[in-house]
Structure 1
Amino acid sequence: MSPTNWHILETVEPPTWLVAKVGKFAARLLSQRGIFEPEQVDAFLYTEAYQPTSAFAFPEMQQAIARIQKAYEQGETIAIWGDFDADGITATSVLWEGLGQFFTQGDRLVFYIPDRLKESHGISIRGLDDLQSQCESIGKSVNLIITCDTGSTSLEAINYANELGIDVIVTDHHTLHDERPHVVAIINPRYLNSEHPLFHLSGVAVAYKLMEALYETLPEIPQQPLEDLLDLVAIGLVADLVQLTGDCRYLAQKGIEVLRQKKRLGVRMLLEQCKRVGDRPIDISFGIAPRINAVSRIWGDVRKCVELLTTRDEKVCKSLIDQTELANTQRKALQKRVFKQVQGKIEQLDLSTTGIIILADPQWSVGVLGLVAGQVVAEYGRPTILCTVEDGIAKGSARSLEGINLYELLKGQEHLLLSFGGHPLAGGLSFALENLQVLAEAIDQRFWSQYGQLQSKAITIDLEVKIADLNKDLFNEFKQLEPFGMGNPTPKLLVRNCEFVDISNANIRTHKGQKVEYIKTEFTLSDRQGNQIHGDWWGHYSYELPDTACDVVIELVDNAFRKRYDVRLLDIYAQSAPLKSEESTLASNSIKKHNPNLKIIDLRGHGQLEQELEATICDRCPTSWHDLNMLIEQAAQSDQALALVYPNPEKINGAIAWQTLVGIAKYLSRTGKEIKRSQLIAKLGIEDQSVLQLGFEELRQYGYVVEIVHNESNDQLDDPQISISSVAADHLSTQSSTQSSTITKQFIQAANEILFQQQFFDRQLISLNEHDR
C-alpha cells in the first residue's frame, strides 16, 4: 500500500466534437480542467486563437514608458538590475537586447546582477555602490535603474538610490511589501486581480511586457523584431515554475515556437550540449535551465550567462557552454553531498512533532540550498528552511508544499529577520544565527495553530489507462496540450493490476560516460494480456519494487535517446500475492461461516482503549486467510462485535517503521526507560519476530545496545521489556557501515512485505464491515 493518498479525478465524458478534434484521452483531460467550449479549446491549443493582454494593462506601465522615453531623448544612462536564477538571467537578457535597440550596450546601457555566493536577492546598498564604481570606470553615471525579477521589497536600497539621484523602475513578480517603494513605476502582476490573465507572469515575462510597451510606443527605432526575444521568455517561464495559464501559457507557447527554430546561438549550442530538440518544455526544465542555474550555484557570478544567451560569437559561446556543463556537473555532486548531510541532521529530529524543518550549517553552500530544501520537502513532506552561516549571519532558502503558505508563516517574524522575499512556496531569507532557535519555535507554533496537522502526501490522478494505451498516439494526444506545468499539470495515469519484470538498477552517467552518483531503477511494466512498456523510477533501488501484482501511477515520457515511449514511475499500490488454492478455500469458508449479523467496530489507529469493550478484540492485523477466518469464527461464537484496535496499516510503510524505530531508540537511550514488546509492536505496526530482529541488528550496527529484559512475573514472560542504550559509534568500520546499510534495506523490504499482507487483510475486514451494512 502506498503511504501517499491517491485522489482519482472523476472521469468526465467529453463532447463528441472534442474527442474528434484532440482524441479520447486528451478530450477527457481538457474537460476535467474546465476547457470544453469551442472558443476555450481553440484559445488553449492555438496561439493565433488567443487574444494576448495589452502591456498597458499594468497600472503604472505608462509612467514607466514615459521615463524610459525621457532617458532616450536626453541621452541618459540606464542600468539593468537583474537576479541570479534562470528567470532573472533571462529577464536581464531580454532587457539587455530589447533596450539595446534604443541605448548603446556597454555605454548608455549596463547591467548588474548580484553574486549569489556573496550577496542576496534584490537591490542592495553595497551593490549600488559597486554599480556606481563600474559606471564611473567608463566615464558614466547612472540616471535610471530598471530592475527585473527583483526589487519589490528593497525599500531601503531604493531610498538610497533616490539619495544618489537615481530613478528606479521596478519590474518584478514577487510578493509585494505592505509599503509601496519610492519608485517612478512598479510593474508587478501582484497588483492585479488573481484572475487577471497577467497575474502569474514570471520576471522575464514582465520584462518582456515592458519591452512590448516600449516597442509599441517607439516602433520606428528597433531593428530587431520583438518576437526574437520570446525564446528567452519561454526559458524563464518554464524554469520558474509559474502557473501556465492566461498570458503565461500564450507566451510559453510562442516562446517554444521560437526556441524550436534555434535562431539564438547560445540556445542552439545549449540544446546540442544536452542532446535535446527544443520543441518541448522538458528540454528547458531538464536541459537548458539546470545549466544556466548551475553557474550561480557554483561560482556565484552569472554575468557570463547573459553573454552566453546574447553573444553572436561562436568561439566565445563554445567556451561558455563548456563552463556551464562543468558547473552543472559540480552542482550535482555538491547537491548530493549537502542532501546527505541534511538527512543526517533530520535523523536527530522528532518528525512527529516538527511542523517546519529549519537547519543551518556553515559548511553548506548557499548555491544549492534551494534545491536541497526542495528535495527535503518531497522526501519528508515538511516545509523546509536551510541556511549556511557566515560571520554570525544565517542565509538560505525556504521551500514549502502546496497548501502551506511559507511566506505568510514567515511574514510575522520580520523582527527576527534581516531580509526575506519570495512566494508562498519558495523564498530566500537571512537572520542573525542567535535568532535561529526562537525563529524555529515561532514559525513552528504558527504552523500548528494555522494548519493544525501535518499534511499527508497526496497525488492527483487524471486518467485510468491500460498498458496497451501507452503508445505514440497517446503521447501525441498529450503533446497537443503542452506546455505542462502549474495550472496545467503533466497527466498522471493510473494502471491497475500490473507487475514489474526485468528489473535492474542503473547508475546515471554524463554524456562523456563519467559516473554520477545518482540511482534509478529500470523495469518493464507488464499486464496479464502480455502488453509491456519500459520504464524507470528515479532515486529508488530495485528491491523497493514489489514482486506482487500492483496498481501504479505513472507519466508517459518520450525516451528520445532510445527512440521509444517509456513510463516514469511516480507511486505504487502493492496488492497481495496471488492466493494459493488452500488459501482460497479458507477464504471461502470464512465468508460462509461468519455471522451475517457480525458488527465490526473500527478503532484502528486510536491508540489504547480508555474503557473495556463488550467485543472480540483484534489488536493484531491478520496476515493470512487463516488468521482472518479464526477471528471471524471467534466473534461469531461469542456473539460479539469485532473491534479493530490495531494501528492503521495504511498509515505506515517500511521506511516509516524504520524512522519510528530509530526515534524510539533515541528516546529510550536518552531517558533510560524501557518499552514493552507489545508497545513496540503497536508503534511499529509489525509483530513478525524476524523483522523485529533485523531492526534490532541494524540498531546494534549504529552503536545501540538492545537487550530483552525478562522478569520472574508471569505477565512478563510473553511480553518482555526491551531496553535500548547507546554507546559511542565512532569505532564503527566501513565494513560495519556497509553491513548496516544492507540490513536497513532488508528490514525495510521485510517490513513492507508484512505490511502489504496486513494492508490486504485489513481491507478484507473493512469490506466485510461495509458489506454487512
Structure 2
Amino acid sequence: MVTTTWQMPEPIQPPDWLQQQVGNFAALLLCQRGIVEPDRVAAFLSAAAYQPTAAAALPEMPQAIARIKLALQAGQTIAIWGDFDADGITATAVLWEGLGHFLVRGDRLFFYIPDRLKESHGISVKGIDQLRSQLQQQDRNLDLIISCDNGSTSLEAINYANELGIDVIVTDHHTLPDLRPPVAAIVNPRYLPEEHPLFHLSGVAVAYKLMEALYDQFPERDRDSLEKLLDLVAIGLVADLVNLKDDCRYLAQRGIERLRQKQRLGVKLLLEQCKQAGDRPIDISFGIAPRLNAVSRIWGDVRKCVELLTTDDPNLAKQLVAQTEIANTERKALQRLVFKQVQAKIAQLDLSTTGIIVLVDAQWSVGVLGLVAGQVVAEYGRPTILSTLEDGIARGSARSLSGINLYELLKGQEHLLLGFGGHPLAGGLSFKFENLRLLTEALDQRFWSQYGQLQMRTIAIDLEVTIPDLNRELFNQFKQLEPFGMGNPSPKLLLRNCRFIRKSHKKIRGSKGQKIEYLKTDFTLGDRQGNQITGDWWGHYAYELPDTEGECDLVVELIYNARDDFYHVRLMDVHRSAESQIYDIVTPKPQAVSAIAPSKLRLDSTTAKAHETWRTLLGIAKYLSRTGESVPRSRLAAKLGIDHPRVLAIGLEELPRYGYAVQHDDHGDLISIRAVNLVPHKSWQSSLFIQSVNEWLFQHQFVNPEILAD
C-alpha cells in the first residue's frame, strides 16, 4: 500500500452569472478547471457551441487521402490493420464501415487484428504474410495497409511491406519513434504541439478524422453515414482514457448522444446486457468497454467484436453479445487469480529498495497483465511491469502512476528489449528472459536517479460537501459537466466529521451466479445532525474501516443507481477526523508554505499513519478471532502497508498484551488470531509498534530507501 495525502483546491468565488447558469457546485468545478469565460463555458457544456478542428489539420492527412483515392481509382485492395483493445476494435470498425461505403467488404476491403494471446500490438512480418496468404486464396494482391491505433513504431514490418510493394498508411496516437517510418503517410496527432486541440485524439478518433477527410473529398456522399460512426468514436475515446478536452470532448459528447439513441444493433444489445442507458461515460467504461476488451484477454481473437459492432443481423448480434458476457466473466476470475499470485511474489521483494516492480511468470495469461499491473500500481504505489514467458521470451504490460514517465524509462533500454510502445502511463513490451536481471537493475537505477524517491499517492479533492448535499440536484449539476475522464475527472468530494453507523462486506458473484470473488463493503454513513447516506467500498473488507465510535473524514464520489433510482457514495479514501492529511491548497500561497516546517509535516503525516496502521491491525485481529479464518503473512502485510518483516513481527508480538493469541502454521506463512482475555479498549496504545511503523514510514518515504535493520 501507499500513503495517501489529500489536496484541497485554492478557494475561488465563481461569478454570479455562472452560478445562476449551472449551480454553485458546478460553477466552482468549472472555475477550478480554468473554464470561466462565457464562450469557453458554452463550448464546454454544449457540443453545438464548440467549433471542431478540421481533419486536414492533422499531419500528413493530405498525403493519406491522396493515397486512398489512388487505391479507389485503381481498383486496388486495402487491408485495415487494427488493434485488440476497445480503442483499436472501434477504430477498426470505423474504417471497416466508413471505407465500406467506397469498397465492397470482403472483396477489395479486408481487416486484420493480431491475436492478443499470440501476437503483440502493431504491424508484424508474420501478420503481413498471413494476410497476403488469405488474400491470395481469393486471387487478390495486397496493395495498401491502413493501420489504426497502432503502427508508429512497427519499423521492421513497414520495411518488409515496402520490399513487397505494399504501401502503408499509419493512423495512430501512440508515442512516436525517433525517425519517421518509411510510409505513404503517418497521421498521428503526437506530431502536433501538446496544446493543439487534436493532440489528445485516441486511435478511433484519428480513424474517424481520416474518414471525415475522405468524405470531404466526395461532397455527394451522404454525410449521415459519417455521423453514424460517432457512437463508436465515443466508446473508443472513453475506453482508452485519453484527455477529454477540446476535440476529444466534442467527439465524446456527440458520440454519447448518438449512443443514447441506441441505433446501432450491437451496441444496443451490449447496453441491455450490462443494464446501462448509454447516456453517460460510465456506461462505456464499466459496461461496454470491459466486455469488448475481455474477448481478446480471454480468447485472443477479436474479429467477432468488429462484426458485433457492425452487423445488422439480430440473431448474430445476440450470439456475439452472449460471448462477450462469458468472456468478461472469465476475465474477472482470471484477473483476481493472477493478482493474488502477483501479491505473493511481491511479498518476497524488499519494497524499500524497489523503485519499479518487474515480475515474470510463465503461468500468467498475457491478456490480463495490464489490468493486474494497474491494480499493483494502485495498491503499492510503484510502476509495474508484469510479463508471461514462452520459449525464453517475456511479453507483457507496463503501468505507471502520475508523475513517472514509464515510456521514457523504457526508452533508454532498447538494447535489452525486443520491442516496446505505449504512453507515459501504460505500454507493452517484450524481452529475452535472460535479460530480466539487467533490465530490472537498469530501470531501477534510472528510476532512483531520475525521481529520487517513491511517490506518495495524492487525491485532489474538488469540493467539500455535507451529506444533505448528496442528492439529485448535485448529481444534475455534475451531469452538465460530463463526460468525465482524463483531464476532466469525476468530482472527488470531501465529507468531514462523519461516522460509520453500519458496515458489512460480501463477495460479489457474476450475473449468473458464477463464483467470482469480488469483494465489496457496504456501509451507512451518518453526521452529527443525524443525516445518513449509504455507500460502498470495492475491493476492501469492513474491518478496514475505522470503528463506528470515531468520526472520520472521507473522500467519496457521488453515484446514481439508475436501476433502483437512488443516490449513494463510493468511498475513495478515509482518515480519522483528527488525522486527515489534507494539505491546504493545490498551489499553496507563499505564507502557507513557510508557516509549517517540512520536517513537521513529515512527522505529523507518518505518526498519523502509524496510529491508523495499529488500529487496522486491531480490526483485522478482531475479525479473524470472530470468523476463525487464517490470513497469509503476505496478505496481512499488504493490508497494513508494511513491507518489512521485523515491523510486522513487532505488531504480532504486541497483540498478546491486549488479549489476542497469535498462532502460525508450520511454515510461518499462515497466521490465525483468537481472542483470549481482551483488555479495555482505551488502553490499546501499542507505543512500540507505533514507534516502529513511524520510524519505518519516515525513513521509507522521506529520508532514505533503507528500512529498519532486523
Q: For this structure pair, what is the TM-score category when the shorter chain's length is used for normalisation?
A: 0.7 to 0.9
Cα offset for 1:602? 10
Cα offset for 1:703? 2.6
AA matched with 1:234:
A
Distance of aligned partners of 1:695 and 1:419 in 2 relative to their CA distance in 1, 3 Å threshold: farther
Q: Which residue of 2 aligns with 1:552?
A: 554
Matched, 1:466 2:466: yes
Cα offset for 1:74? 0.9
Matched, 1:650 2:609: yes
Q: Deviations over 1:697-730 (max 9, x none)?
A: 36x33734xxxxxxxxxxxxxxxxxxxxxxxx6x
Distance of aligned partners of 1:269 and 1:685 in 2 relative to their CA distance in 1, 3 Å threshold: same
In 1, are the aligned partners of 2:654 and 2:686 still within 8 Å (CA)? no
Q: Distance in 1 between matches of 2:341 and 2:44?
A: 44
Match of 1:740 among 636, 660, 672: 672
Cα offset for 1:646? 12
Distance of aligned partners of 1:90 and 1:664 in 2 relative to their CA distance in 1, 3 Å threshold: closer
Q: Which residue of 1 aligns with 2:575?
A: 573
Q: Distance in 1 between matches of 2:217 and 2:598?
A: 70
Distance of aligned partners of 1:240 and 1:645 in 2 relative to their CA distance in 1, 3 Å threshold: closer
Report sequence identity in percent: 66
Cα offset for 1:219? 2.3
Once the two structures are superposed, the pairs formed by residues 610-759 of structure 1 within 5 Å of their partners are: 648-650=607-609, 653-654=613-614, 658=637, 664-665=644-645, 689-690=654-655, 697=662, 700-701=664-665, 703-704=667-668, 737=670, 740=672
Once the two structures are superposed, the pairs formed by residues 130-279 of structure 1 within 5 Å of their partners are: 130-222=130-222, 225-279=225-279
3-state SS, counterpart of residue 439 of structure 1: helix
Distance of aligned partners of 1:190 and 1:319 in 2 relative to their CA distance in 1, 3 Å threshold: same
3-state SS, counterpart of residue 374 of structure 2: helix
3-state SS, counterpart of residue 268 of structure 2: helix
In 2, are the aligned partners of 1:197 and 1:247 still within 8 Å (CA)? yes
Cα offset for 1:650? 3.2
Q: Deviations over 1:24-73 (max 9, x none)?
A: 00000000001011001000001110000000001210011011111111
Distance of aligned partners of 1:187 and 1:741 in 2 relative to their CA distance in 1, 3 Å threshold: farther
Cα offset for 1:685? 8.9
In 1, are the aligned partners of 2:655 and 2:662 still within 8 Å (CA)? no
In 2, are the aligned partners of 1:691 and 1:751 still within 8 Å (CA)? no
Q: Distance in 1 between matches of 2:682 and 2:329?
A: 36
In 1, are the aligned partners of 2:82 and 2:91 still within 8 Å (CA)? yes
3-state SS, counterpart of residue 491 of structure 1: coil
Q: Which residue of 1 aligns with 2:390?
A: 390
In 2, are the aligned partners of 1:537 and 1:570 still within 8 Å (CA)? yes
Q: Which residue of 2 aligns with 1:368?
A: 368
Q: Which residue of 2 aligns with 1:726?
A: none
Q: Deviations over 1:326-374 (max 9, x none)?
A: 0000000000000000000000001111000000000000000000000
Q: Distance in 2 between matches of 1:349 and 1:695?
A: 29
The answer to which structure, 1 or 2, has the higher relative contact order (CA under 8 A, 6+ apart) is 2
In 2, are the aligned partners of 1:151 and 1:172 still within 8 Å (CA)? yes
Once the two structures are superposed, the pairs formed by residues 375-414 of structure 1 within 5 Å of their partners are: 375-414=375-414
Q: Which residue of 2 aligns with 1:281?
A: 281
Q: Which residue of 1 aligns with 2:51?
A: 51
Q: Which residue of 2 aligns with 1:455?
A: 455
Q: Which residue of 2 aligns with 1:487?
A: 487
Q: Distance in 2 between matches of 1:339 and 1:751?
A: 38
Cα offset for 1:457? 1.2
Q: Distance in 2 between matches of 1:503 and 1:321?
A: 36
Q: Distance in 2 between matches of 1:545 and 1:377?
A: 22
Cα offset for 1:663? 5.2
AA matched with 1:388:
T
Cα offset for 1:506? 2.5
Q: Distance in 1 between matches of 2:493 and 2:196?
A: 31
AA matched with 2:554:
V
Q: Which residue of 2 aligns with 1:324?
A: 324
Q: Which residue of 1 aligns with 2:563?
A: 561
Cα offset for 1:601? 11
Distance of aligned partners of 1:466 and 1:388 in 2 relative to their CA distance in 1, 3 Å threshold: same
Distance of aligned partners of 1:30 and 1:693 in 2 relative to their CA distance in 1, 3 Å threshold: same
Cα offset for 1:525? 1.1
Once the two structures are superposed, the pairs formed by residues 108-123 of structure 1 within 5 Å of their partners are: 108-123=108-123
3-state SS, counterpart of residue 101 of structure 2: coil
Cα offset for 1:662? 7.5
Distance of aligned partners of 1:271 and 1:400 in 2 relative to their CA distance in 1, 3 Å threshold: same
Q: Distance in 1 between matches of 2:173 and 2:571?
A: 34
Cα offset for 1:514? 3.6
Count of equivalent residues: 649
Q: Distance in 1 between matches of 2:684 and 2:91?
A: 48
Q: Which residue of 2 aligns with 1:595?
A: none
AA matched with 2:358:
I
Coordinate RMSD, CA, aligned: 3.0
Cα offset for 1:502? 2.2
In 2, are the aligned partners of 1:91 and 1:149 still within 8 Å (CA)? yes
Q: Distance in 2 between matches of 1:33 and 1:230?
A: 26
AA matched with 2:172:
D
5+ long unaligned stretches in structure 2? 580-595, 618-635, 695-710
Once the two structures are superposed, the pairs formed by residues 754-769 of structure 1 within 5 Å of their partners are: none
3-state SS, counterpart of residue 448 of structure 1: helix
AA matched with 2:293:
N
Q: Which residue of 2 aligns with 1:416?
A: 416
Distance of aligned partners of 1:203 and 1:742 in 2 relative to their CA distance in 1, 3 Å threshold: farther
Q: Deviations over 1:356-412 (max 9, x none)?
A: 000000000000000000000000000000000000000000000000000000101
Distance of aligned partners of 1:222 and 1:3 in 2 relative to their CA distance in 1, 3 Å threshold: same
AA matched with 2:9:
L
Q: Distance in 1 between matches of 2:108 and 2:338?
A: 43
Q: Which residue of 2 aligns with 1:310?
A: 310
Q: Distance in 1 between matches of 2:641 and 2:176?
A: 45
Q: Distance in 1 between matches of 2:280 and 2:207?
A: 23
Distance of aligned partners of 1:207 and 1:662 in 2 relative to their CA distance in 1, 3 Å threshold: closer
Mark the structure with the bigger radius of gyration.
1
Q: Distance in 1 between matches of 2:151 and 2:370?
A: 20
Distance of aligned partners of 1:604 and 1:703 in 2 relative to their CA distance in 1, 3 Å threshold: farther
In 1, are the aligned partners of 2:308 and 2:321 still within 8 Å (CA)? yes
Cα offset for 1:515? 3.9
Matched, 1:339 2:339: yes
Q: Which residue of 1 aligns with 2:522?
A: 522
AA matched with 1:402:
S
Q: Distance in 1 between matches of 2:454 and 2:113?
A: 38
Q: Distance in 1 between matches of 2:50 and 2:176?
A: 29
Cα offset for 1:530? 1.4
Q: Which residue of 2 aligns with 1:535?
A: 535
Q: Distance in 2 between matches of 1:17 and 1:198?
A: 30
Matched, 1:36 2:36: yes
Q: Deviations over 1:565-598 (max 9, x none)?
A: 1100000011369xxxxxxxxxxxxxxxxxxxxx
5+ long unaligned stretches in structure 1? 578-599, 607-643, 666-679, 705-728, 730-736, 763-773
Matched, 1:427 2:427: yes
Cα offset for 1:691? 6.3
AA matched with 2:111:
F
Q: Distance in 1 between matches of 2:306 and 2:682?
A: 52
Q: Deviations over 1:537-556 (max 9, x none)?
A: 00011111112110100000
3-state SS, counterpart of residue 516 of structure 1: coil
Distance of aligned partners of 1:687 and 1:204 in 2 relative to their CA distance in 1, 3 Å threshold: closer
Cα offset for 1:692? 7.5
Once the two structures are superposed, the pairs formed by residues 290-305 of structure 1 within 5 Å of their partners are: 290-305=290-305
Q: Distance in 1 between matches of 2:656 and 2:566?
A: 41
